[in-house]
Structure 1
């Protein structure tokens, strides 16, 4: 098992925060796998968004969201598929494989007016490592 030990450069984080403030983007949150697992039961109106590739979805599956809506839009198609985005007032949890692509998706969505966004810390890998349920995904 590989642990997610990503360390962030404090200067880069500060620079990114300053850039986002220039564009009026509110800071977004990070959610741990344990917290997401609880939220999937307690917050049925939230939306979970997977920004991995269709190949990753087919090969590895997706977070088992139960009754919570799951939206899958690859990061490389995030702008082209804006019509598939959840409502701007929805609480949205975004994840990818490790957390990098979801952060990019959060930034894009934040610039375009979404403000109740969080990224799954460590992404799908952290979810799997924590032993939480995964389900198969039939790529359309």
Structure 2
């Protein structure tokens, strides 16, 4: 399997994300803010998608592993800026930090979109599904 190591890394990231969400929920209890609840849900679902992509299962036989990984990356990219959304007074520093975080998370989201929609043809020399980058 050519992508075995990548799947292992994605699985480790997924495990870390799910463990982080579980630890936050155990330590702090249920979120008191809708924003935090959405962020934790996105992190948890992203981690779950990464865990699914790491192992051969009926789910990865129906939907290729790299598409699960792409969905996990998109959810992770969406969740990151939610942690710094400015609330209350819209101070310049808070807006700047939020803007920079959105820009930084766009790269993670773009990788996820590439894997989910374009099967990784722009990321890999030999894409997982065997298609070459020159055919797209």
Normalised to the residue count of structure 1, the TM-score between the two structures is 0.26
The structure where helix makes up a greater share of residues is 2
The structure where strand makes up a greater share of residues is 1
> Which structure carries more relative contact order (alpha carbon 8 Å, separation 6+)?
1
